[in-house]
Amino acid sequence: MESRSSSRLLHIAFSVFSFVCIVEGEKCNTLNGKWYNQLGSEIFLEHGTDGILYGEYRTAVERRNGSSGVNHSIVLGSAPYNFPSAAFAFSVVWRNGTSTTVWTGQCFVREDGHETLLTSWLLRSTVETCIDKWKSTMIGRDTFTRYEQLHGPRKPDEGKTEGQTEIDKIIHSFDPDVKNKPCNLNGKWYNVLGSEMILKQRLKDNVIEGEYRTAVERETGAAGNSHSKVFGIGQLGGSSSTFSFFVVWNNGLSATGWVGQCHICGENKTETIESTWLLRSKIEAVRDNWKSTLYSEDSFTRTETTPGPRKNDNTHTPDRSGDEPPKACKGCHPLFSFALLGLSVLVSLLL
C-alpha cells in the first residue's frame, strides 16, 4: 500500500513538472498583446513572424503637456519571433517627430509565472543646434507586465488603431521632397569607431531600413557573422525632427537602439547625425539586469574618418540558419519535457 502511494506521488510529480516546463516554454515566445508599465501607460503589440513589431502606445505621462500629441502613438520595433527571451527594441515617434523614444529590453517569466518586460529607454527631443545636444536626451527604465500595475489617465479607445493596415495609413510622409533636402537619412553614414551604416527611408511611410556594418563588438562574435539589419522610423525629414533606428544582433543575443537628430554642424556645414544609444545584452536571470545595458553616444557623418574592418560585400542580410535558438528556460528543453510526460504516463500504467 505504501509503495503504491509513493508511486502515485511520483506520477503526480512527473506530470506537474512536465506540464510546468511545457507551459513555461511557451511564454515570452512572442510579445503579442497588451502590456502595462509602472506609470499606468499601456502598449499594444502585434508580433509578426518576420520579427517586426507593430502597435500603439497609450501614454499616461508626458514631459510637457501636449508633447505626446492628441492621439495614440504608433509603435514600431524588432524582436526575433519564437526566440524566447531574446533581446528586442521598439520605438515611438511623438507628435510628428518633435520627440522620439526608443526602448531595448528582454522578456522574463518571473517566479510567480507572470511575463515581464524589463526595458531601458531614451527620450530624444528636438534641439536647434549641434551644441544643444547636451539637453536633448532623457534616460530611464520601464517594467511592463500583462496586468495593469497602475490605472493611468489613458486616452479613450476610440482613438486606437487596429492592425498593420491602419498603422500604415497613420505613418505617412509629411515631406515628399525630402530626398532633395540636406539631412535626409538616405545613404552611407560613418561613426568615429569605423562602423558603417547604409540607410534608406521609405517615402510612403517614413520607415527606415538598411544595414549596419559594425567595426566593434562587446565580445568577439556578439554581432554575428554578417551585416545586421537596421530598422527604424522617423517623420518630417530634414533637421527639424527626431527619429530612431535599431539593430537586433545574432537572433536576439543583444539589441541596440539609437535615437537622434540630424544637424548641419560647423563651418563646413557637415551633415551630422547626433545620437545616443542603448545596447541590451541577453541575460539569464532577472537578478543580472544591472549588467544588461550599456549607454553611450554616436556621431555619424557622410565621410569615413576611421577605416573599419568591413565585412565582405553581398552578405547584407544576416544568415542565422545555423544558429541554435535560445532555450525558454534552463532544464526545460521541449524534448526533455515531453520525455518526462511520457515517463509519467508509463508510471501511471504500471500502477
pLDDT band at 319 (very low <50, low <70, confident <90, very high): very low
Question: Which grid cell sits at 97?
Answer: 517627430
What is the pTM for the complete model shown?
A: 0.78
Q: Minimum mean pLDDT among 102-106, 126-130, 311-315, 327-331: which range?
A: 327-331
* pLDDT in the model for residue 237: 58
Residue 54 is part of which domain span? Answer: 33-154+168-313
The pLDDT of residue 351 is: 57
Mean pLDDT of the chain: 78
Nearest residue to 2 (alpha-carbon basis) of 10, 43, 151: 10
Integer Cα distance of 231 and 226 in angstroms? 16
Structural domain includes residue 212 = yes
pLDDT category at 197 given cuts 50, 70, 90 is very high
Work out the percent of the chain whose per-residue pLDDT is above 70: 68
- 60 found inside a domain: yes
Here the CATH number for the domain that contains residue 177 is 2.40.128.30
The total number of structural domains that make up the chain: 1
160 part of a folded domain: no
How many other C-beta atoms can be found within 10 angstroms of the C-beta atom of residue 104?
28
In a domain, 253, yes or no: yes
Is position 49 within any domain? yes
65: in domain: yes
Q: Which of 28-37, 76-85, 165-174, 221-230 has the lowest mean pLDDT?
A: 165-174
Q: For residue 205, is it within any domain?
A: yes
Most confident of 21-30, 54-63, 219-228: 54-63
Residue 239: inside a domain, yes or no?
Answer: yes
